[in-house]
Structure formats: structure tokens, C-alpha cells
Amino acid sequence: MLSRAIALAVLIALSASSDAVLAHGDEQGAKKGAVVVSKEQQVWGIAGDARSVKRTIEIRMLDAMRFSPDRIEVRQGETIRFVLSNKGKLTHEMVIGTKKTLDEHAALMMKFPTMEHDEPWMTHVGPGKSGEIIWNFNRAGEFEFACLIAGHYQAGMKGNIRVVSIGI
């Protein structure tokens, strides 16, 4: 079985010619062309629908390699609109995942810093720009978010998301 990192690298290589793909180094922080949002279930949830947003959480991205806030709590089943504001002079991104998936992706980014990809659980934000992620946290647990641009994650640009189970 291919490891998740190898599978991600293959997926990225296959989609490199798509207009919907965005380079980490994109200065505008805007998605190009028509973007088809994948509704693929992930351990940390699934792409959300704007009509289902229950709450908006604003997050600032700082050149001090920090997110503010860096700890978030949501309820299982809640669809969140994350509005990311890059207050710095460097491009940043937010990628949601597990510690394991973020560690693997960060390692790939160190090897291939201009690697291109775009998924509904991530957004790239140019200096002075803003971006958003709409995500449905349909599974309880402890998850993370990070900036995986080479060196940013390693400098501490990460945060935690706690998804609290709703009693059944």
C-alpha cells in the first residue's frame, strides 16, 4: 500500500496541469479558474457548503510565523467558515489535517518548495490578502492546522482544532 505522502505526491503530479491548481508561491493568494470542490471525507472532516456555515472564525497570519488565534474549538457537525487575513509581507497558507498528515506534507514541502496543489482543506494567502476555507467538522477529535510553506511549519506556524462530540 502506498503511504499517504506518496499518494499525495502522485495526485499532485497528475493534477499539475489543471487551472484549479495553485502554487504555494502564488503572490495573489487567489484560486485560478473554476475550482471543483472535492467532497472526499477526510479524518478531520469534509468540505463544507457555504449555505451550511454556522459560524465564521477569523484567523490572522503573521510573519512572526504564528496564527492568531492558534487554538480553536468547534462542535462535531459544525460547518465553519475560516476567514484568513495575511497581515505580513510573506505568503502564508492554512492547511487543516492531523499531525501525521501535516508532518508528511511539511516534509514534502521542504523537498519540493514550489510543489503545486489545492484542496478544500487548505488556502494560500498572499501578503495583505485574505482567503477562506469552508469546512464541516463531522468527526470529533483533536486536529491541527498549519502553514506548510517551507520553513514556516518548522518555525512554529501551527495551531490546534478541538472538535467536541455532540452527545447522541
Give mean pLDDT, residues 113-122: 87
Q: What is the pLDDT of residue 38?
A: 61
The span from the CA of 95 to the CA of 21, in Å, is 15
Q: What band does 32 get if pLDDT is binned at 50, 70 and 90?
A: very low
The span from the CA of 13 to the CA of 32, in Å, is 18
CA 6-1-120 angle, 5° bins: 45
The grid cell for 1 is 500500500
pTM of the model: 0.78
Q: What is the pLDDT of residue 145?
A: 98
Q: What band does 138 get if pLDDT is binned at 50, 70 and 90?
A: very high
Residue scoring higher pLDDT (4 or 151): 151
Starting at the earlier edge strand, list the strands of the sheet with 55-62: 46-47, 130-137, 78-86, 55-62, 66-68
Fold for the domain defined by 4-164: Immunoglobulin-like (2.60.40)
Of 162, 155, 95, 153, the residue nearest 124 (C-alpha): 95
Sorted by sequence, the CB contacts under 8 Å of residue 63 that are 6+ apart come out as: 87, 88, 89, 90
Domain ranges of the chain: 4-164
Q: What band does 37 get if pLDDT is binned at 50, 70 and 90?
A: low
CA torsion sign, 65 to 93 to 24 to 87? negative
Averaged confidence pLDDT in the chain? 83
Q: What is the pLDDT of residue 168?
A: 56
Q: What is the pLDDT of residue 114?
A: 85
Q: With 90 as the cut, is the pLDDT of residue 19 above it?
A: no
